[in-house]
């Protein structure tokens, strides 16, 4: 087992990279050790990919020194880097689609050697590599016929065929399913066992905490710090990455929270459903963010489903003082209630459909009724406004929603509901599975909606998120309301005491 004290296989010192007027890297340093996963963490634009492209020989540093395995390391291109023992799997793949998997895997070898390899030997050799990695891929398939995820795994196999000392993975899981990611993680374990050093780039904090041995945070092209995984928490890493302390991560209110004298926008009294929740009573004012905290199984999502008409329940619900019966989601939508669900892939999005049709789907009735034949143009214009307002990163409105990152998909779900101009917005785990950068953008959007007068019910299992955004918090425990705590009494300790039923 490699330890942190061993001599680093890769040493980066004082590396600078300037593109015209942009300083992408400024005095960067990094020590990477054999048999360890070293994560490079930083917000978008921090300089991660630039540093990796320097390691791959795609860019030359403006100045600085890099040593690989004790020798000066100045690759002039990726083939050169591979020959010297460093292989890199880029966000943008570099495979030849019209060649087979086997040909791609062995293509980086010296031409003189490759020239003598007959087909059968080539296939056998690449089969061995694929089998060693446990990849579910046939080496005689054309790369062009594989899924993006499979291509990524081939790219990694290709890197391994050169027996690299250092393997760089730049956001490898961004287009992988959970199963495919598991395959990748097992490959990483095998690489570690072979004493290869891995540089890993990802935004997914859970994944980082699971895989990393060392974590280096960079910000604005500068080195910030390196920590061993055991010595750091996700919260600390986020704070280091964004360069703000935790209490500044959640955007502050720009307008004061509505006072208790304001009449409730939405109120719920004695809501019950056999076996799920009992006697739930709360209210929320226009402009207020009411958090819902509880451990798994506490009944929060069930309550929200009942409020949105997905499930029946007994009790009284009032909107702007008027009693309301909500028997189905479409009735809820008609009354101005919107629901951003926990599971966006199953409930919120149609992945095969375009960004535009996903955004406009919930508000369609509105377009149809008001606008007749102008409908389509207005639809497009509205979708565009939301794409810009939420800074959704998409090539265009016709791109299938499934092609976007998790964070951008979640923003589409938000955009879809915003177009219905809801009075009450229910958010169930709105940032689950979303990368850190997109999280902050979603927090800003939530704040802005509240400022515009929407009453917000925010369910989150992340205590800092509930604490950071809510004006008041409803705590649930085993289907019952354990407490409603106002912000002046919000501490992690008080909330946890209620949530665990110890109060
Ligand atoms: P990250 O991978 O951490 O998101 P990058 O390394 O891609 O960050 O970018 C770091 C900074 O360098 C950004 O400000 C980016 O705009 C700039 N940059 C990266 N590549 C180039 C380039 N080829 N030309 C000009 N600026 C670039
Ligand atoms: Mg990048």
297 vs 303: CA distance, rounded Å:
11
Radius of gyration in angstroms for the set of CA atoms belonging to the chain, rounded to a whole number: 26
Residues 6+ apart with CB under 8 A from 469: 250, 289, 291, 443, 446, 447, 458
- Ligand 1 atom with the smallest distance to the CA of 42 is 3
Question: Which element (helix H / strand E) includes 216?
Answer: strand 214-219
**Along the 503 residues of the chain, how does pLDDT read in single tens digits?**
555 557 899 999 999 999 888 889 999 999 999 999 999 998 777 899 899 999 999 999 999 999 999 999 999 998 899 889 998 886 556 677 788 888 888 765 544 444 545 677 778 888 888 887 778 888 888 888 887 778 878 877 777 676 789 999 988 776 677 777 888 888 889 889 889 999 999 877 888 999 999 999 999 899 999 999 999 988 788 778 877 655 566 777 777 778 777 899 999 999 999 999 999 999 999 999 999 998 777 899 899 999 999 999 999 999 999 999 999 988 998 899 999 876 665 567 888 889 998 888 877 766 665 555 556 777 788 888 888 888 888 888 998 988 887 788 888 888 888 888 899 999 998 887 776 667 778 888 898 889 989 999 999 887 878 888 999 999 999 999 999 988 777 787 788 888 887 76
Ligand 1 atom nearest 52 alpha carbon:
6
CB neighbours of residue 269 within 10 Å:
14
**What does the pLDDT read at residue 243?**
75
Ligand 1 mean position, distance from CA 218 (Å): 13
CATH class for domain 266-499? alpha beta
Question: Residue 244: CB partners within 8 Å, gap ≥ 6?
Answer: none
What are the two backbone dihedrals, phi and then psi, of residue 399, each rounded to the nearest 5 degrees? -60, 135
Which among 22, 15, 78, 27 has a CA at the least distance from the CA of 45? 22
Q: Is the CB of 42 under 6 A from ligand 1?
A: yes
CA 38 to CA 182: how far, in whole Å? 18
> Domain 10-242, what architecture?
3-Layer(aba) Sandwich (3.40)
> Model's pTM, two decimal places?
0.58
Ligand 1 atom closest to residue 53's alpha carbon, by position in its atom list: 6
Q: Which chain residues have CB less than 5 Å from ligand 2, an ion?
A: 49
**49 Cβ inside 6 Å of ligand 1:** yes
Residue 47 CB less than 6 A away from ligand 1: yes
Give phi and psi for 4, each to the nearest 5: -70, -15
CA 133 to CA 147: how far, in whole Å?
18
Asked if 361 and 419 count as a contact pair (C-beta separation under 8 A), the reply is no
Closest ligand 1 atom, residue 44 Cα:
4
Distance (angstroms) between ligand 2 centre and the Cα of 396 equals 21
CA-nearest residue for atom 16, ligand 1, is 45
Instruction: Please give the number of the atom of ligand 1 that sits closest to the Cα of 51.
Output: 6
What is the length of the chain? 503
Sign of the CA dihedral with 303 first, then 307, 311, and 312 last: positive
Alpha helices in 258-362 (DSSP H): 300-307, 329-334, 355-360
Pairing of strands 337-340, 10-19: unpaired
Measured in Å, residue 41 CA sits from the centre of ligand 1 at 15
Q: Where are the domains of the chain?
A: 10-242, 266-499
Residue 411 vs residues 355, 369, 391, 430: alpha-carbon distances, Å: 11, 26, 8, 9
Q: How far apart are CA 118 and CA 7, in angstroms?
A: 40
Query: In a mutational test of the pocket of ligand 1, which residue from 20, 25, 50, 54 has the highest number of ligand atoms less than 8 Å from its CB?
Result: 50
């Amino acid at each position: 087992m490699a330890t942190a004290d061993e001599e680093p296989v890769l040493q980066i010192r004082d590396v600078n990279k300037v593109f015209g007027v942009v300083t992408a890297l400024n005095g960067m340093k990094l020590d990477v050790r054999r048999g360890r996963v070293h994560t490079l963490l930083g917000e978008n634009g921090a300089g991660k990919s630039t540093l990796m492209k320097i390691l791959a020989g795609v860019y030359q540093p403006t100045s600085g020194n890099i040593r690989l395995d004790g020798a000066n390391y100045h690759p002039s291109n990726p083939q050169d880097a591979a020959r010297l023992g460093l292989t890199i799997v880029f966000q943008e793949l570099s495979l030849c689609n019209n060649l087979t998997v086997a040909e791609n895997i062995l293509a980086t070898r010296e031409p003189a050697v490759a020239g003598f390899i007959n087909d059968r030997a080539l296939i056998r050799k690449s089969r061995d590599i694929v089998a060693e990695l446990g990849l579910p891929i046939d080496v005689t398939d054309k790369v062009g016929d594989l899924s993006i995820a499979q291509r990524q795994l081939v790219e990694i196999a290709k890197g391994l065929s050169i027996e690299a000392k250092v393997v760089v993975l730049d956001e490898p899981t961004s287009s992988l399913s959970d199963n495919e990611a598991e395959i990748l993680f097992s490959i990483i374990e095998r690489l570690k066992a072979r004493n290869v050093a891995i540089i890993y780039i990802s935004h997914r904090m859970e994944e980082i905490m699971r895989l990393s041995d060392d974590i280096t945070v960079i910000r604005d092209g500068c080195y910030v710090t390196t920590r061993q995984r055991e010595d750091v928490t996700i919260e600390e890493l986020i704070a280091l990455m964004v360069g703000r302390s935790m209490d500044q991560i959640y955007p502050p209110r720009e307008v004061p929270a509505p006072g208790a004298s304001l009449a409730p926008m939405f109120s719920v009294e004695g809501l019950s459903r056999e076996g799920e929740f009992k006697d739930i009573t709360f209210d929320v004012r226009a402009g207020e963010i009411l958090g819902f905290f509880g451990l798994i199984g506490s009944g929060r999502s069930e309550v929200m489903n009942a409020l949105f008409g997905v499930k029946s329940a007994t009790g009284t619900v009032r909107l702007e003082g008027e009693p309301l019966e909500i028997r189905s989601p479409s009735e809820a939508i008609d009354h101005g209630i919107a629901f951003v669900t926990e599971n966006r892939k199953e409930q919120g999005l149609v992945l095969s459909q375009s960004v535009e049709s996903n955004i406009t789907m919930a508000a369609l009735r509105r377009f149809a009724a008001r606008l007749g034949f102008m409908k389509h143009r207005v639809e497009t214009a509205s979708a565009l406004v939301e794409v810009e307002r939420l800074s959704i990163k998409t090539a265009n409105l016709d791109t299938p929603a499934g092609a976007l990152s998790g964070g951008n998909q979640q923003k589409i779900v938000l955009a879809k509901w915003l177009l219905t101009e809801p009075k009450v917005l229910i958010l169930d785990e709105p940032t689950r599975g979303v990368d850190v950068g997109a999280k902050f953008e979603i927090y800003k959007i939530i704040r802005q909606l509240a400022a515009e007068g929407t009453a917000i019910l925010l369910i989150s299992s992340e205590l800092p998120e509930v604490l950071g955004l809510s004006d008041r918090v409803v705590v649930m425990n085993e289907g019952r309301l354990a407490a409603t705590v106002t912000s002046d009494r919000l501490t992690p300790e008080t909330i946890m005491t209620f949530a665990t039923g110890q109060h």
